[in-house]
Amino acid sequence: MKSYLKHGRLPDAVVVEGPLAGGHLGFKMEDILEVRCPSLKEIVKEVKEFICSIESEYIAKIPVIAAGGIRTKEDMEELLQVGADGFQLASLFVPTIECDVHENFKQAYVKATDEDEMIIKSPVGMPARAIRTDFLMDSLTNGCTVNKCYKCMPGCNPGAIPYCISQGLINAAEGRDGLIFSGSRLGGINKISTVREVIKTLLGR
């Protein structure tokens, strides 16, 4: 918040990503693996209290957006109770007709069970959640072979990373075996649908 105030600004909104979110996660690896992270609900409650104090001090409105593992109307209702003003959802919308990702990427979501969820250490040094793929399993078992360095990250040493993040993401985006980030609880996502259907189901209509 201080960095905003320094520029005479306040955030337009705050997104709170809990431990069940997809991609890079802002928690310690051991806390995620040992299921010691606070829940999204607990974090939203705490952030909301802080944001409310800022709102009264600066006479402003800063919506708190909850994200990570939201799959049902009940999930949203619980978060509304602790002060969420909105929701950011990703995984439910990946296997939809409207999503412009490669068909194979969508199918990986449809086929994945809860057991295919992996927490990996990303070359950026943070834990990340992804779907188990041969690409990830091979690099974890045999080490990483970088055929082409994209120089995507200053300071990345291609000889000391678990896998090449650019190669993994490019492969997956182009429909090959690669790195597929995803949120948790994929077991309930079993078909390609439409954005309309996802929203209708979420709202229980």
Ligand X SMILES: Cc1cc2nc3c(=O)[nH]c(=O)nc-3n(C[C@H](O)[C@H](O)[C@H](O)COP(=O)(O)O)c2cc1C
Residues that bind ligand X (CB under 6 A): 17, 20-23, 67-70, 88-92, 181-183
Q: Which is nearer to ligand X, 22 or 51 (CB)?
A: 22
Q: Which is nearer to ligand X, 145 or 204 (CB)?
A: 204
Q: Which is nearer to ligand X, 22 or 58 (CB)?
A: 22
Residue nearest to ligand X (CB): 183
Identify the three-state secondary structure at position 95.
coil
Q: Which is nearer to ligand X, 60 or 188 (CB)?
A: 188
- 112 CB contacts (<8 Å, ≥6 apart)? 131, 132, 182, 186, 187, 189
State in angstroms the smallest separation of the CB of 59 from ligand X: 29
CA 116/CA 129 separation, integer angstroms: 10
State in angstroms the smallest separation of the CB of 8 from ligand X: 25
For residue 181, what are the β-bridge partners?
A: 130
Q: Which is nearer to ligand X, 60 or 195 (CB)?
A: 195
State in angstroms the smallest separation of the CB of 56 from ligand X: 28
State in angstroms the smallest separation of the CB of 60 from ligand X: 23
CA 135/CA 181 separation, integer angstroms: 13
Kindly list the distances between the CA atom of residue 78 and the CA atoms of 64, 84, 106, 126, 149, in Å, as whole numbers in the listed order.
14, 9, 28, 28, 45
State in angstroms the smallest separation of the CB of 185 from ligand X: 7
Q: Which is nearer to ligand X, 57 or 115 (CB)?
A: 115
Q: How many CA atoms lie within 13 A of 176 on its CB side?
A: 7
State in angstroms the smallest separation of the CB of 100 from ligand X: 12
Exposed e or buried b per residue across 122-152, where buried means at least 16 C-beta atoms within 10 angstroms of its C-beta:
bbeeebbbbbbbebbeebeeeebeeeeeeee
